[in-house]
């Protein structure tokens, strides 16, 4: 139903950044109506938040009906509709369902969409939102073999993914799995988990989960309809099982990409169809740049994401970064007046700390949404605000194959060139510890397993203490480094 509203705050996006921003604004401006626009009936909320240290934080992500937010914040109104039109100069936004908002402050938190290998191949599936995850489960139940193409870090998109009853071919562009996060040493530590039995399962997921109430035809994973990105436990509660009993083979092809994708008919008509008996008859075929060919039931495209800026660009003058994200300054402001952005849709345009980098993670989505709300509030109240301390040091806690993973600073020596040294300690099946030093000072660390070193290393990185005299003794397992530096 068409309507027009004069409002102070409008936030677009039902993911972590948008919901965090909306909650913060609604709690601070209780007498103002705050509008949250989301294309999905479900929103992502942060629960069980825990500040582990100065910069490290842990939290769960729950997918909830939007009504939960409205009950918690009486002044927060959730509108389920996509954006149709933005006229930033006029401070006007229109939704697909006919509503018009004349806003004072707008924050765009529309996230990112999958960057698929191809948009029009029915045998290629991207996994980004709830609908595409359900489509993946449906297709997998009939599959004997799938090919997973990984150009970006697999830890973000299909981490902890071990399938039963289906052969999996991983095609990875780097020398190691999860190269965005891990060096070859950490990858070797984790690789046994790819083919490990599922007997040692993780603890049951205790987070509330909801299903969308869909009418009409189902949605394809390649659909243009956008929903919020999946939470870290997206595969919990859905059976990821293929069509073959007792088949869970894993094979990894390193340093390769897709050369060409074929449907069954295209492949049979091509010059490559000389050894069909060896390859077998499959719905799809993948030719890799290393000249190898694999037949499969379908292809999972884990080739990264693209900031979802398209609905907002026409007729406006947004400055975009090289990755096509909305460029924001150190107050999360875009180039259009009174329009802010946070989360995956934006790209940090300020001069970052030497120890921080943007990586489009759940942690950063929450931090950016929270900080954007503070910046909007400060602007309305005409108050000064400084860049939040969370942008001083990159820090992230996650789980990978049931291992606790902590990433700090320049954990993969990003941007350091040859001017660094690495210290590594590894206990097979238990822990992997790597620190990155430059000029004798710690600038990054990777901690896999229950090391209990995260707070100590965080302090060493922030304090920039000269550690030259300790040498390799810094990681001596017989020295209690926590007590030593406390």
| Structure confidence at residue 115 (pLDDT) | 80
Tens of pLDDT, residues 181-217: 667 778 778 777 655 554 444 444 444 444 444 443 3
Superfamily of the domain at 115-195+226-304: FAD/NAD(P)-binding domain (3.50.50.60)
| Structure confidence at residue 241 (pLDDT) | 53
56 vs 202, 317, 331, 458, CA distance in Å? 23, 36, 21, 9
| Structure confidence at residue 156 (pLDDT) | 40
Overall average pLDDT of the 156-163 stretch? 48
CA–CA dist 480, 334 (Å, integer):
47
Tens of pLDDT, residues 246-269: 555 778 888 898 999 999 989 988
**pTM of the predicted model as reported, rounded to 2 decimal places:** 0.82
Confidence of residue 157 (pLDDT cuts 50, 70, 90): very low
Are the beta carbons of 376 and 28 closer than 8 angstroms? no
Helix (H) or strand (E) holding 266: helix 264-269
pLDDT higher than threshold 60 for residue 160: no
pLDDT higher than threshold 80 for residue 133: no
Confidence of residue 219 (pLDDT cuts 50, 70, 90): very low
Q: What are phi and psi of 301, to 5 degrees?
A: -95, 100
Average pLDDT in the chain? 84
| Structure confidence at residue 393 (pLDDT) | 96
| Structure confidence at residue 204 (pLDDT) | 43
- Please report, rounded to a whole number, the percentage of residues in the chain having pLDDT higher than 90: 54
DSSP string, 74-131: TTEEEEE--EEEEEGGGTEEEETTSEEEEEEEEEE---EEE--S-SS-TTEE---SHH
Tens of pLDDT, residues 343-390: 999 999 999 999 999 998 889 999 999 999 999 999 999 999 999 999
Structural tokens at position 478: 């017989």
Overall average pLDDT of the 156-167 stretch? 59
> What CATH fold (topology level) applies to the domain 4-111+308-387?
FAD/NAD(P)-binding domain (3.50.50)
Higher pLDDT, 472 or 34: 34
Overall average pLDDT of the 119-132 stretch? 77
Helix (H) or strand (E) holding 461: helix 454-463
Confidence of residue 222 (pLDDT cuts 50, 70, 90): very low
What number of other Cβ atoms are within 10 A of residue 265's Cβ? 9
Strands 395-400 and 403-409: antiparallel
Which of 159, 110, 174, 180 lies closest to 359 in space, CA to CA? 180
Confidence of residue 277 (pLDDT cuts 50, 70, 90): low
Higher pLDDT, 220 or 100: 100
Q: What residue ranges of the chain are covered by domains with CATH 3.50.50.60? A: 4-111+308-387, 115-195+226-304
pLDDT higher than threshold 90 for residue 341: yes
- Please report, rounded to a whole number, the percentage of residues in the chain having pLDDT higher than 70: 81
The arrangement of secondary structure in 402-484, i.e. its CATH architecture, is 2-Layer Sandwich (3.30)
| Structure confidence at residue 201 (pLDDT) | 43
| Structure confidence at residue 99 (pLDDT) | 95
Q: What residue ranges of the chain are covered by domains with CATH 3.30.390.30? A: 402-484
């Amino acid at each position: 139903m068409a309507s027009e509203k004069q409002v102070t705050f409008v936030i677009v996006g039902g993911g972590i950044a948008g919901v965090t921003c909306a909650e913060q604004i609604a709690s601070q401006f209780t007498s103002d109506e705050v509008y949250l626009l989301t294309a999905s009936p479900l929103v992502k909320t942060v629960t069980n938040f825990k500040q582990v240290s100065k910069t490290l934080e842990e939290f769960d992500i729950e997918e909830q009906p939007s009504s939960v937010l409205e009950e918690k914040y009486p002044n927060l109104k959730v509108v389920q509709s996509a954006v149709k039109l933005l006229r930033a100069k006029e401070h006007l936004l229109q939704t697909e369902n006919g509503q018009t908002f004349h806003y004072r402050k707008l924050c765009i938190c529309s996230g990112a969409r999958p960057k698929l290998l191809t948009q029009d191949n029915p045998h290629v599936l991207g996994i980004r939102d709830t609908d595409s995850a359900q489509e993946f489960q449906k297709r997998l139940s009939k599959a004997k073999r799938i090919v997973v193409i990984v150009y970006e870090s697999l830890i973000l998109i299909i981490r902890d993914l071990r399938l039963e009853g289906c052969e999996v071919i991983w095609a990875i562009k780097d020398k190691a799995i999860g190269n965005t996060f891990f060096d070859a040493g950490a990858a070797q530590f984790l690789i046994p988990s790819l083919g490990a039995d599922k007997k040692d399962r993780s603890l049951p997921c205790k987070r509330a989960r909801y299903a969308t109430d869909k009418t009409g035809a189902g949605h394809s994973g390649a659909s243009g309809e956008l929903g919020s990105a999946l939470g870290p436990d997206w595969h919990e509660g859905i059976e990821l099982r293929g069509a073959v009993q007792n088949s869970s083979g894993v094979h990894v092809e390193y340093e390769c990409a897709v050369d060409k994708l074929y449907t069954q008919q295209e492949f049979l008509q091509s010059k490559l169809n000389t050894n069909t008996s060896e390859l077998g008859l499959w719905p799809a075929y993948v030719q890799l740049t290393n000249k190898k060919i694999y037949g499969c039931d379908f292809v999972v495209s884990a080739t990264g994401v693209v900031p979802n800026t398209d609905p907002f660009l026409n007729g406006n003058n947004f400055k975009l970064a090289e990755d096509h994200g909305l460029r924001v300054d150190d107050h999360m402001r875009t180039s259009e007046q009174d329009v802010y952005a946070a989360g995956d849709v934006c790209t940090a345009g300020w001069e970052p700390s030497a120890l921080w980098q943007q990586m489009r993670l759940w942690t950063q989505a929450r931090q950016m949404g929270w900080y954007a709300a503070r910046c909007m509030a400060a602007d309305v109240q005409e108050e000064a605000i400084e860049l939040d301390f969370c942008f001083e040091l990159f820090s992230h806690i996650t789980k990978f194959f049931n291992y606790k993973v902590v990433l700090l600073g320049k954990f993969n020596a990003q941007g350091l060139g040859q001017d660094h040294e690495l210290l590594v300690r590894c206990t097979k099946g238990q822990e992997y510890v790597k620190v990155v030093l430059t000029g004798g000072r710690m600038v990054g660390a990777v901690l896999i397993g229950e090391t209990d070193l995260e707070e100590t290393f965080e302090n060493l990185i922030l304090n920039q203490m000269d550690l030259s005299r300790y040498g390799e003794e810094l990681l001596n397992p017989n020295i209690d480094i926590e007590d030593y530096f406390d």
